[in-house]
A = this chain, B = another copy of it.
Amino acid sequence: MIEVKNARKSFGQNHVLKDVSLHVNDGDVVVILGPSGSGKTTLLRCINFLEKADGGTLTVGDKTVDFRKASKSDILEIRRKTAFVFQNYNLFQNKTALENVMEGLVTARKVPKETARTRAQEALEWVGLADKWDAYPSQLSGGQQQRVGIARAVVLDPEVILFDEPTSALDPELVGETLAVIRRVAKTGITMIVVTHEMAFAQEAANHVIFMDGGVVVEEGSPNEIFVNPKEERTKKFLSRILSSDMYEI
């Protein structure tokens, strides 16, 4: 279970999150949609305390903290329950693909090195990168880096995974495969919050869809509610643009 209440965040005069709340049940897959700059990444970053929100509270599992008053150990506890897949990958530059995936297991979770290696190799296989295990990030293609990032998060088997556009650099084939991975992971009861621009992905994978714009949640509901019967004007407009671009589909 993860719950955000009244999250607020400004950069100077720019109010990026204006009172955002959301509630996600265990094992749910929540997709956040919204135009560029609407605050999606910022919201995920606040949940993982990579950004200090200006106000609001966060609950992960049985742990509730105030965004502003969270202590170091609170933050560490929440971070150990969550994992993050970055929009720009953020792989450890000084570590190979395999080491990137092992790092969290070995250092944070104290998993014995051999076990960690096996699990990391499995995770890399899942994402189709078994042969690239000893390449450094600078030697990987965009899509390969993104997949290492996904493996690094998934291998930790956390309560919650925060995905920030996990398929932006992937070709359609891989999007399908990643979707499968995410679906498989969801079945094990891990909660997922996914920011994505892939509507197909959203429709297929999500239990719940949130549409954000200008720092507020404009509308939320089941995929059907959002995609088929959107209530808000803004949502309708956003979706109509997509539909028009879908016109070119075969």
Contacts and interface: CB of A to CB of B under 8 A. Distances in A.
B41 A141 contact: yes
A175 B248 CA distance: 13
Which of A36, A170, A179 has most chain B Cβ within 10 Å? Answer: A36
Total identical chains: 2
Interface in A17-70: 33-37, 41-42
Contacts of A110: none
A200 B41 CA distance: 26
A173 B174 CA distance: 23
Given A200-B245, A227-B250, A249-B200, A87 B142 contact: yes
Contacts of A220: none
Contacts of A227: 250
Contact of A204 (B139, B228, B248): B248
B197 A170 contact: yes
Interface of A: 11, 33-37, 41-42, 87-89, 132, 139, 141-144, 147, 164-165, 168-176, 179, 197, 199-201, 203-204, 227-228, 238, 241-246, 248-250
